[in-house]
Each structure stands twice: as structure tokens, then as C-alpha cells.
């Protein structure tokens, strides 16, 4: 992501969440990565016209990338728990309105945020499979996918704990 981005460590009740914010004075788009991934999957978007036009906020979910493991994993490592962590992070960054882009698991987190974050300005889902845990309309003919496996995109932690 460009040199003007700020990397912040945001303390939450879920653990430290590492965020990257380009700080633009523009509408905010929060990009939420998928399982076994990290904020770096959005580097190209941050370096593109999108990043030059909008305030982009990317971050590592608890237990991913450079963020800490969850303080209370039994709560945080659920869709509602991850949504709570993102909402808390946004509050600590003084972000009260934003569009959400969720990829894969990030899409499910964004859906969960609809009932928790009153400032949702838009919702973009990509690669987010239907799920029994989400109230997908059965009349649409969309059925949950079973048997898909996550793929790790970001490098594993080094011996010093860094995932870069």
C-alpha cells in the first residue's frame, strides 16, 4: 500500500488489531479480508484509483496477519464476535460511516455488521458463499455450499511472531 498509509495498532477487547488507513478526506471504504488471510490481499486496491479516490481502511482480523490472537477466542472467533471486533475498531478510529467490502469470510462479517454498525453506507460482497448461519432467502434458489476449504494467502508467522 502506498507510503502515505498509516499503520495503527488499535487496542480492542478482542486484542490488538493492526489497521492500515490512507487517511484520505473522502468517503470511507472498509475492506474485510477472508479466513486465513490478511489486509495485504487488498494492496492492489489501495494502490489503484480506488485508493486515490476514497479513504480505504484495511486491517488484520484477530488471529490473522499482524493482529494479536483473540483474548477470548470462544467469543471472538465467531461471525458475530468478529463483527463486534470490527465495529469496536471502527469506533476507536472515529469512523461512524463507511461502506463495507467483504471478501469470503469478510463478507459474512460485513453482513453481521449490518445490525451492529449504524453507519453502513453500502455493502459489497465478493466470494462470500451462502451459509445456513445467514438468513438467505430460500425462495431465491440459493443453497449453502458445503465442503469448501480456506486457503492461506498470507505468509505464516515467523519465529518472532510477525506474519510478514
**What domain range includes position 101?**
6-130
153 vs 4: which has the higher pLDDT: 4
Q: Which of 10, 20, 29 is nearest to 88 (CA)?
A: 10
Q: Is residue 39 part of a domain?
A: yes
Q: How much is the pLDDT for 129? A: 86
Residue 113, helix vs strand vs coil: helix
CA–CA separation, 35 vs 116, rounded Å? 21
Q: Is residue 50 part of a domain?
A: yes
Q: Is residue 123 part of a domain?
A: yes
Q: How much is the pLDDT for 130? A: 82
Q: Is residue 113 part of a domain?
A: yes
Span 13-29, average pLDDT? 97
Q: Is residue 51 part of a domain?
A: yes
Q: Is residue 68 part of a domain?
A: yes
Q: Mean of the per-residue pLDDT values for the chain? A: 85
When divided into structural domains, the chain yields a total of 1
Q: State pTM to two decimals.
A: 0.80
CA–CA separation, 77 vs 109, rounded Å? 11
Q: Per residue in 126-164, pLDDT tens? A: 999 887 655 444 443 434 444 444 444 455 555 555 554
Q: How much is the pLDDT for 151? A: 41
4 pLDDT band (50/70/90 cuts)? Answer: confident
Q: Per residue in 64-114, pLDDT tens? A: 999 999 999 999 999 999 999 999 999 999 999 999 999 999 999 999 999
- Please give the sequence-ordered ranges of beta strands (E in DSSP) within 97-153, or none if there are none: 98-103, 120-126
Q: Is residue 48 part of a domain?
A: yes
Q: Is residue 163 part of a domain?
A: no
Q: Per residue in 23-65, pLDDT tens? A: 999 999 999 999 999 999 999 999 999 999 999 999 999 999 9
| Beta-bridge mates of residue 31 | 58, 101
Residue 138, helix vs strand vs coil: helix
Q: How much is the pLDDT for 149? A: 41
CATH at 17: 3.40.50.1820
Amino acid at each position: 500500500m502506498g507510503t502515505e498509509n498509516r499503520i495503527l495498532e488499535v487496542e480492542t477487547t478482542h486484542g490488538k488489531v493492526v489497521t492500515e488507513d490512507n487517511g484520505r478526506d473522502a468517503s470511507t471504504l472498509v475492506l474485510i479480508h477472508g479466513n486465513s488471510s490478511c489486509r495485504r490481499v487488498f494492496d492492489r486496491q489501495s494502490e489503484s484509483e480506488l485508493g486515490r479516490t476514497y479513504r480505504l481502511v484495511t486491517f488484520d482480523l484477530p488471529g490473522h496477519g499482524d493482529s494479536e490472537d483473540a483474548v477470548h477466542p470462544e467469543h471472538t472467533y465467531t461471525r458475530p464476535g468478529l463483527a463486534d471486533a470490527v465495529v469496536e475498531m471502527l469506533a476507536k478510529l472515529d469512523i461512524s460511516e463507511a461502506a463495507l467490502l467483504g471478501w469470503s469470510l469478510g463478507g459474512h462479517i460485513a453482513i453481521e455488521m449490518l445490525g451492529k454498525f449504524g453507519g453502513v453506507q453500502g455493502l459489497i460482497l465478493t466470494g462470500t458463499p451462502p451459509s445456513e448461519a445467514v438468513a438467505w432467502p430460500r425462495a431465491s434458489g440459493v443453497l449453502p455450499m458445503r465442503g469448501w476449504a480456506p486457503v492461506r494467502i498470507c505468509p505464516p508467522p515467523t519465529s518472532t511472531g510477525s506474519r510478514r
